[in-house]
Amino acid sequence: MKGLSSLERIILESIGKQVLVFEEIQNQSGLHENVCFNVIQALVIRGLVSTDGARYRISEKLSPLMIEEINGKEAKEAEYLELMEALVAQKDNRIFRLQKVAMDSRDEKIFIAMLSNLESFLADAHKKAQSTVPVKERKVIFWGLGEVHQLMNQIVAGN
């Protein structure tokens, strides 16, 4: 087992700590009926989701190794890449900005402090609304900072 696709992860996030029937999972995830069913079945086969035939829950028998495989650094990076590709390709209802900016060290420190404030805001907003906002209506937000020469070296190296 290597990581999770974004579709598998949204199903797991939809179920969370609850026990849900198929219709509730489909409503939470926003996936089409056949896609949702197929993804749930794949998760059941992989042992990540258990079912009594009508209701689904996240399996209680996940080993630490399985948890690391689905939530580890490589798995998260693969998910982020998949989401970023979808965000860049999205045509409607997107706000996407990418800009190369000249910054001195003082402005970089200010920017990093602003990112810290943003992270606090996002954590508070999520905590406040996570029980009332369905998974399908949540927002994907991306931010970061990198130096052009390091990014170009990564591209050349194929990393």
Domains by residue range for the chain, with CATH: 1-90 (1.10.10.10), 97-159 (no CATH)
- Express each pLDDT in 52-97 by its tens digit: 989 999 998 888 888 888 888 888 888 888 888 888 888 887 788 8
When pLDDT is averaged across residues 136-149 and rounded to a whole number, the result is 88
- pTM of the predicted model as reported, rounded to 2 decimal places: 0.76
C-alpha span between 37 and 46 (Å, rounded): 14
Residue 33's contacts (CB-CB under 8 Å, 6 or more residues apart) are: 26
Does position 1 have pLDDT exceeding 60, yes or no? no
Does residue 43 sit in helix, strand or coil? helix
In the chain, pLDDT over 90 holds for what percent of residues? 55
Nearest one of 63, 40, 59 to 50, comparing CA atoms: 59
C-alpha span between 77 and 83 (Å, rounded): 10
